[in-house]
Chain A
Amino acid sequence: MIARLFACLLLAALCAGVTPVAAQAPVDLTFYYPVAVGGPVTKIIDGLAADFEKENPGIRVKPIYAGTYQETIVKVLTALKSGEPPQMSVLLSTDMFTLIDEDAIVPFDEMATTADDRAWLKRFFPAFMLNSQTGGKTWGIPFQRSTIVLYWNKEAFKEAGLDPNRPPATWVEQVEYARKLTKHDAGGNVTQWGLEVPSSGFPYWLFQGFTTQNDVLLMNQGGNETYFDKPAVVEALQYWVDLSVKHKVMPTGIIEWGTTPKDFFERKTAMMWTTTGNLTNVKNNAKFEFGVAMLPAGKRRGSPTGGGNFHIFKKSTPAQQAASLKFIKWITSPTRAAQWGIDTGYVAVRGDAWDTPAMKQYVAGFPAAAVARDQLQYAVAELSTHDNQRVTKALNDGLQAALTGAKTPEQAMKDAQREADRILRPYRR
């Protein structure tokens, strides 16, 4: 009996002694991420995760592709409510308020405590931090960020008698060029549209292009007030609706986001508005010379920023949080941010990434890659409020109603504003 007890104690002591010497159990990290652009993005992300694991043998990273931005936030919140959230996630930067309200994420200031870390936080483009900070804290780190840009088909420009190297620079020019570029066949049907601005899924983002160019903002910094029914906003919507209804340079009805680039490749449209994140996709698939430009100016140039930030979730161990921070810092280091930008077309999120030799060489050979970055000086925050999904749905519905002719722009925006007010009222106390 005593011998057995002694043996057990010895065994326990051995185990206790052995454990600190043995390798620490690996830290497991999972993160959900969306993809909203064409190209082998999931492969790139998997490759990045593998590279990180090689350099950091104690950490295992598992990226999980979760669909669109909207599908990803649903999955993340579902996981959160079931008690098993991931450790990190790439989510639409505008979901920040929702995540804070659900008590889901940790601000980076609590984890990034060393002087080095603080310096790292300051290196991102301020335009991208607009949707990442609130209440003096940083809740998200920019990763796959973008702005809207105008792509144009240089060959189509030549055919229409336009200077192929001169994109439209103002709203008036945009309509004018689009008119010249819209081609009809013998029966009067359109074979090539002048311009396509997608309106499916999240038309509010493209709408922010128009409103920023008309010098008006859609919400306040605190995320509890919206201004959908301001006259300048209605004006911007009228311009968008007129493109298809009055000037007939754009298809009527809802234009699908996912098929707009393909329309461009198939020459069904000569110009398109879409994210700079599609740049590499367009470069690989357009069989003609094309250009990329900042969006035309209304009263001023402008575009919303877009895309996803990295967030770290509260419900993870301190070891996991530290590992997550390590991964995020690694993936946003200058060389990697630059490589990510080159591989996709997203804007490398920090200034020094653009100074790396790889990026410099890329931009020298392909100046289109720098357009989105240059547009950052005119960029505004993307629409982001409390209960974000609901408020954006109200706006999206209104936009789609106006674009399909079911409501006038004024009525659509008034209804959207009323709905937004109803949703945001509890957050104004």
Chain B
Amino acid sequence: MSGGPGASALTPGRLLETVGAWLLGILWALPLAYAVWTAFHPGEFSTHFVLSAPLTLGNFWAGWAAAPFARYFLNTTLLVAMILAGQLVLCTLAAYAFARFAFAGRAAAFLLVLVQLMIMPDVLIVENYRTMSHLGILDTLGAIGLPYMASAFGIFLLRQTFKTVPKELDEAARVEGAGALETLWRVYVPLARPVYIAYGLVSVSYHWNNFLWPLIVTNSVQSRPLTVGLQVFSSTDQGVDWSIITAATLMTSAPLLVAFLIFQRQFVQSFMRAGIR
């Protein structure tokens, strides 16, 4: 095990470690690499690995034409933006309340909020579906997003952050005559910016990739997000053309993947920050 600064010489132990780490890394990258390879080569080569096979973009065109991916992209983008916007507003307000207002029943309310960390809307599909049905908003982006907008995780994270804001700043703003909301906007929100970015990345990743609840709640192309669209498209009953399916798969993951590749450090730091208690 790399113990830290002590192990700097290229001992056999370190060599073994390096080789082991690299093997695992390559093994880990293999599935995605093969999927990328298949997507860029014609269908016949999806099952016969020939290094000299011709490159082609045909699979992507075929995939794009075979299902309304443009609409799916739009839906997903709108959905993710809508959820994030809702979360930012609601969680900020709630976290501010928990952090700075000693209101009656605060402890009990906070415990109830934490319940959602364990019991997510994802597992309450049957009842939430019924609720959406009663509200009459089935098959809309709102139906997909509403259960997630009050995010216990967001409230928790922001509460932690707000609690670290020095009270002097708060008092200074009050002295200048600012009310509660204005203090929030002028003092707390700017100081919590890194946390907002971190949370935003986590939220976008999660909701871009969410599948089961959108599957249940949407019916038509109008409101279908990418994940559901991909699954409907690659239904295996049709007889599968793996090149086209991997191409479509890459298309749906592309935005997040590209964003990740460019903003790697921020992504990693966001997830790290989100996990630190």
Contacts and interface: CB of A to CB of B under 8 A. Distances in A.
| A and B, direct touch (CB closer than 8 Å) | yes
Contacts of B221: 64
B2 interface: no
B85 interface: no
Interface in B208-233: 216, 219-221, 231-232
Contact of A262 (B231, B237, B239): B239
A68 B138 contact: no
A201 B237 contact: yes
B239 A281 contact: yes
A281 B221 CA distance: 26
Interface string B229-260: 00110011111100000000000000000000
Contacts of B67: 65
Contacts of A261: 239
Interface in A178-234: 201
A42 B219 CA distance: 17
Given A36-B237, A83-B133, A64 B220 contact: yes
B232 A35 contact: no
Contacts of A69: 237
Q: Is chain B's binding surface mostly helix, strand, loop or mixed?
A: loop
A37 B220 contact: no
B179 interface: no
A260 to B, nearest CB: 8
Interface string A68-89: 1101000100110111100000
Nearest to A64: B220
Contact of A37 (B132, B133, B216, B239): B239
A266 B47 contact: yes
B138 A42 contact: no
A274 B67 CA distance: 26
Given A42-B66, A68-B235, A84-B139, A78 B240 contact: no
A82 B67 CA distance: 25
A258 B238 contact: yes
Contacts of B47: 266
B3 interface: no
Q: Is chain A's binding surface mostly helix, strand, loop or mixed?
A: loop
A186 B221 CA distance: 52
A281 B241 CA distance: 12
Interface residues of A, number: 33
A22 to B, nearest CB: 28
B240 A258 contact: yes
Contacts of A67: 231-232, 235, 237
Nearest to A69: B237
B239 A71 contact: no
B219 A79 contact: yes
A67 B218 CA distance: 13
Contacts of B216: 78
B136 interface: yes
A30 B222 CA distance: 13
Contacts of A64: 219-221
Given A65-B232, A75-B219, A262 B240 contact: yes
Contacts of A291: none
Given A75-B219, A81-B133, A84-B138, A36 B232 contact: no
A278 B232 contact: no
Contact of A278 (B220, B231, B239): B239
A251 interface: no
Contact of A256 (B136, B235, B236): B236
Given A65-B232, A258-B240, 11 more contacts: A36-B237, A36-B238, A67-B232, A78-B216, A84-B139, A84-B219, A201-B237, A256-B236, A258-B239, A262-B240, A281-B239
Interface of B: 47, 66-67, 132-133, 136, 138-139, 216, 219-221, 231-232, 235-240
- The 6 nearest A-B residue pairs measured at CB: A38-B239, A258-B236, A82-B138, A36-B237, A68-B237, A67-B235
8 contacts: A35-B235, A37-B238, A38-B238, A42-B66, A67-B237, A68-B235, A79-B139, A278-B239
